[in-house]
Amino acid sequence: MSIHNKNLLRALPSVDTLLNHSTDLIVQYGRDDVRDAIRAVLDQTRQQIIKDNDLLINEISLLSQVADYLLQQNTPSLREVINATGVIIHTNLGRAPLSKSALQAMQAVATGYSTLEYNLEQGTRGSRNQHLEDLLKQLTGAEAALVVNNNAAATVLALSALAHNKEVIVSRGQLVEIGGGFRVPEIMQQSGATLVEVGTTNRTRAADYRRAITEQTALLMHVHPSNFKQLGFIKETPLQELVHIAHEHGLIVLDDLGSGALIDTALYGLDHEPTVQESLAAGCDLVTFSGDKLLGGPQAGIILGRGDLIQQLKHHPLARAFRADKLCLAALYATLRHYRQGNALENIPIWQMITRPLTDIKAQAYEWAQMFNATVQPGESTVGGGSLPGATLPTYLLAINHPQPDVLTAQLRQLSPPIIARITANHVVFDPRTILPEQTTLFTQLLKGIIL
């Protein structure tokens, strides 16, 4: 180490000296956090000096580093981002954004007390299950309903309550693994049910189910393929036929529907996604699905079906472990009201994105292209979230040519809020479809700071 750098080490101010000049930071973060930050910055600086790095060191630069350190340490890892990827239900980015009504409903019950488990008419303890059951029954025609904290919990609860120590028959083509390592066979094992596989990966006939039924069989399970699609030489037993086989033998049909569509996606340029209403109309005894996919609400698991079976689920010990909280219930009620009132397309963000006219998207992309001296490319938006695998919507992309696209996307992720984009053919591209209307001005302002 050079003499110059030894002198730099000696010249470093003490912790107390820097602390005495950090009044504003102490007000913002607290004295203990500021002291810890100063120590961390001084330690980093010493290491750099020891490595003979040539540094400009004074109190102003050190305090600036302390401020940056505190900002980084106090920025939550869970925070808002701008989704420019074109993936509408982006699992890694929080799935479905909530409607304004859902946000207002959450705030109303979050900032004070609520009737979560209180019956106003009787002045006695109530049930949180009652807040949504009638609305779900009205929307779908189900006999009864139960809401838990996600669809995985709904599946585990149903299997645990109805098939513990019994057999559950599933087509081999439906033994899926979805994001996060959720595997149907492993969930089956955790519930205490015994998995019975029938058919082959690509073809399962009605006769395969019939041959597998024994005195130990509790139910037949149908599983939505989620994030993959089979093509070619395939066969799947129709849901109505599966129901007929099960009811012939006095068995239950559980349809793990996954996406939870209440609207026919085929009306809006997409493939048809099986709806909740279709599953119930086919005669399924229980249907489970997510709240934060095609429904467009908060994370939740919704179970619909026969009243007697729902009652068993409500009284199972796992029902309490999996129950939804007040924020979820409030947001889900507000989301379902959009469907009941017939204005889901206008108010639920994912449906606003799905139904947004292509002409509007094109105009937005060209407006931005002029702003940033960039180009516009035709592209495809994806529904995502394990819904409609392989199905896309046409879109137009703002495309920025950059010598190092990886560097640019990394810079975009460091913004506040971060912009999440993607790279296509050495261009960084931004899909207007998934940038929320209230974020467009902020998006252009942030991008100007990087590009211009």
Instruction: Spell out the domain ranges in the chain.
Output: 3-73, 82-91+350-451, 98-346
Which residues of 82-240 form beta strands (DSSP E)?
Answer: 82-83, 87-89, 118-119, 124-125, 144-148, 167-171, 177-178, 182-183, 194-198, 217-223
- Region 201-207: mean pLDDT is 85
What band does 232 get if pLDDT is binned at 50, 70 and 90?
low
CATH class of the domain whose range is 98-346: alpha beta
pLDDT(194) > 70: yes
Q: What's the confidence (pLDDT) of residue 3?
A: 65
pLDDT(42) > 70: yes
What band does 2 get if pLDDT is binned at 50, 70 and 90?
low
Q: How far apart are CA 354 and CA 381, in angstroms?
A: 9
Q: What's the confidence (pLDDT) of residue 55?
A: 67
Q: What is the rounded end-to-end Cα distance, in angstroms, of the chain?
A: 42
- What six digits make up the tokens of 208? 């395969």
- Region 138-156: mean pLDDT is 96
Q: Tell me what the pLDDT averaged over the chain comes to.
A: 92
Q: How far apart are CA 158 and CA 51, in angstroms?
A: 61
Q: Is-contact 447 417, C-beta < 8 A?
A: no
**Residue in 324, 303, 287, 318 with CA at minimum distance from that of residue 191:** 318
Q: What's the confidence (pLDDT) of residue 180?
A: 57
Q: What's the confidence (pLDDT) of residue 182?
A: 65
Q: What's the confidence (pLDDT) of residue 201?
A: 78
pLDDT(102) > 90: yes
Domain at 82-91+350-451: CATH architecture: Alpha-Beta Complex (3.90)
Q: How far apart are CA 186 and CA 177, in angstroms?
A: 10
Q: What's the confidence (pLDDT) of residue 186?
A: 80
Q: What's the confidence (pLDDT) of residue 415?
A: 95
pLDDT(387) > 60: yes
For 148, residues 6+ apart whose C-beta sits below 8 A from its C-beta are 154, 157, 300, 301, 303, 319, 322, 323, 324
Phi, psi of 74 (to 5 degrees): -105, 5
CA atoms within 13 A on the CB side of 188: 25
Radius of gyration (C-alpha) of the chain in whole angstroms: 28
Q: How far apart are CA 259 and CA 383, in angstroms?
A: 11
Q: How far apart are CA 62 and CA 207, in angstroms?
A: 75
Percent of the chain at pLDDT exceeding 70: 94
Residue 6: other Cβ atoms inside 10 A: 12
- What six digits make up the tokens of 239? 């849901």
Q: Is-contact 399 427, C-beta < 8 A?
A: yes
Which one has a higher pLDDT value, 308 or 175? 308
pLDDT(126) > 70: yes
- Region 218-239: mean pLDDT is 77
10 Å CB burial of residue 54 (0-12, 13-18, 19+) is exposed
Q: What's the confidence (pLDDT) of residue 172?
A: 86
**Residue in 448, 364, 426 with CA at minimum distance from that of residue 398:** 364
What band does 391 get if pLDDT is binned at 50, 70 and 90?
confident
Q: What's the confidence (pLDDT) of residue 229?
A: 62
Q: How far apart are CA 153 and CA 300, in angstroms?
A: 9
What band does 405 get if pLDDT is binned at 50, 70 and 90?
very high
Dihedral of CA atoms 92, 96, 102, 108 in degrees, nearest 10, equals -10
| Residue 183 identity | R
Q: What's the confidence (pLDDT) of residue 183?
A: 74
pLDDT(433) > 70: yes
pLDDT(224) > 70: yes
pLDDT(273) > 80: yes
The most confident of 36-40, 54-58, 188-192, by mean pLDDT? 36-40
pLDDT (tens digit per residue) in 47-97: 888 876 666 678 888 999 999 999 999 989 999 999 999 999 999 999 999
- Region 120-138: mean pLDDT is 95
What band does 213 get if pLDDT is binned at 50, 70 and 90?
very high
What interhelical angle do 184-191 and 151-163 show, nearest 10?
50
Q: What's the confidence (pLDDT) of residue 443?
A: 97
Q: What's the confidence (pLDDT) of residue 234?
A: 62
- What six digits make up the tokens of 430? 């931004």
**Of 78-92, 114-128, 256-270, 382-396, which gets the smallest average pLDDT?**
382-396
What's this model's pTM, rounded to 2 decimal places?
A: 0.90
